[in-house]
Structure 1
Amino acid sequence: MTAQLQVETGRDARPATMSQAEWDARIELAACYRIFNRLGWVELIFNHITARVPGEDGHLLINPYGLMYREITASNLVKIDLDGNILGHSDWPVNSAGLVIHSAVHAARPDTHCVMHTHTTAGSAVACLRDGLDWNNFYAAQIYHQVAYHDFEGITVDPDEKPRLVADLGDRNLMILRNHGLLALGASVPSAFTALWTLQRACEIQLAAQQTGQPLQPVTEQAALQSSREALQFTKGVDAGREVFDALWRALDRDEQDYRT
Structure 2
Amino acid sequence: MDPVIELPNTSLKGKVSPEEWERRVDLAACYRLVAHMGWDDLIYTHISLRIPNTDTYLVNAFGVAFDEVTASNLVKVDLDGNILDDTPFSINPAGFTIHSAIHEVREDAHCVIHLHTNETIAVASQKEGLKPLSQYSMFSLASLSYHGYEGLAVNDDERKRLQDDLGTTNHMLLVNHGGLTLGPTVSDAFMRFYDMQRACEVQLMMQAAGQDVIPVPQSIQDNIYAQANVVHSGSTGGQKAWPSLLRKAWRLDPSFME
TM-score exceeds 0.5? yes
Q: Structure 1 residue 16: deviation in Å?
A: 3.9
Q: Partners in 2 of 1:93 and 1:142 — Cα distance? A: 36
**1:84-130 C-alpha deviation (Å, 9 max, x unpaired):** 10001221211122211000000100111100001111111111111
- Find the partner of 2:43 among 42, 45, 63: 45
Maintained 8 Å contact 1:144/1:228: no
Q: Partners in 2 of 1:168 and 1:106 — Cα distance? A: 14
- Find the partner of 1:73 among 57, 70, 77: 70
Q: Structure 1 residue 53: deviation in Å?
A: 1.0
| Number of equivalent positions | 247
Q: Partners in 2 of 1:234 and 1:106 — Cα distance? A: 26
Question: Match of 1:129, SS?
Answer: coil
Question: Match of 2:39, SS?
Answer: coil
Q: Partners in 1 of 2:73 and 2:26 — Cα distance? A: 13
Counterparts in 2 of 1:235 and 1:15: CA distance versus 1, 3 Å: closer
Q: Where does residue 115 of structure 2 map in the other structure? A: 118
Letter in 2 for 1:40: G
- Find the partner of 1:152 among 149, 152, 171: 149
Q: Where does residue 135 of structure 2 map in the other structure? A: 138
Q: Where does residue 236 of structure 1 map in the other structure? A: 234
Maintained 8 Å contact 1:141/1:225: no
Task: Give the stretch that moved more between structures: 129-138 or 107-116.
Answer: 129-138
Q: TM-score, normalised by structure 1?
A: 0.90
Q: Where does residue 54 of structure 1 map in the other structure? A: 52
Letter in 2 for 1:38: H
Q: Where does residue 64 of structure 1 map in the other structure? A: 61
Q: Where does residue 205 of structure 2 map in the other structure? A: 208
Question: Match of 1:231, SS?
Answer: helix
1:259 and 2:256 equivalent? Answer: yes
Q: Which runs of 5+ in 1 are unaligned?
A: 1-12
Q: TM-score, normalised by structure 2?
A: 0.91
Counterparts in 2 of 1:36 and 1:162: CA distance versus 1, 3 Å: same
Q: Structure 1 residue 234: deviation in Å?
A: 6.4
Q: Which runs of 5+ in 2 are unaligned?
A: 1-10
Task: Give the stretch that moved more between structures: 226-235 or 248-257.
Answer: 226-235
Q: CA RMSD in A?
A: 1.5
Task: Give the stretch that moved more between structures: 193-202 or 142-151.
Answer: 142-151
**1:193-233 C-alpha deviation (Å, 9 max, x unpaired):** 11111110100000000001112212111111222221147
Q: Partners in 2 of 1:98 and 1:245 — Cα distance? A: 26
Maintained 8 Å contact 2:147/2:172: yes
Instruction: Report percent identity of matched pairs.
Output: 40
Q: Partners in 1 of 2:232 and 2:83 — Cα distance? A: 33
Q: Partners in 2 of 1:77 and 1:130 — Cα distance? A: 37
Q: Structure 1 residue 14: deviation in Å?
A: 4.4
Q: Structure 1 residue 240: deviation in Å?
A: 4.0
1:221 and 2:201 equivalent? Answer: no
Q: Partners in 1 of 2:145 and 2:220 — Cα distance? A: 20
Q: Structure 1 residue 142: deviation in Å?
A: 2.7
The ranges of structure 1 where at least 4 consecutive aligned residues each deviate by more than 6 angstroms after the TM superposition are none
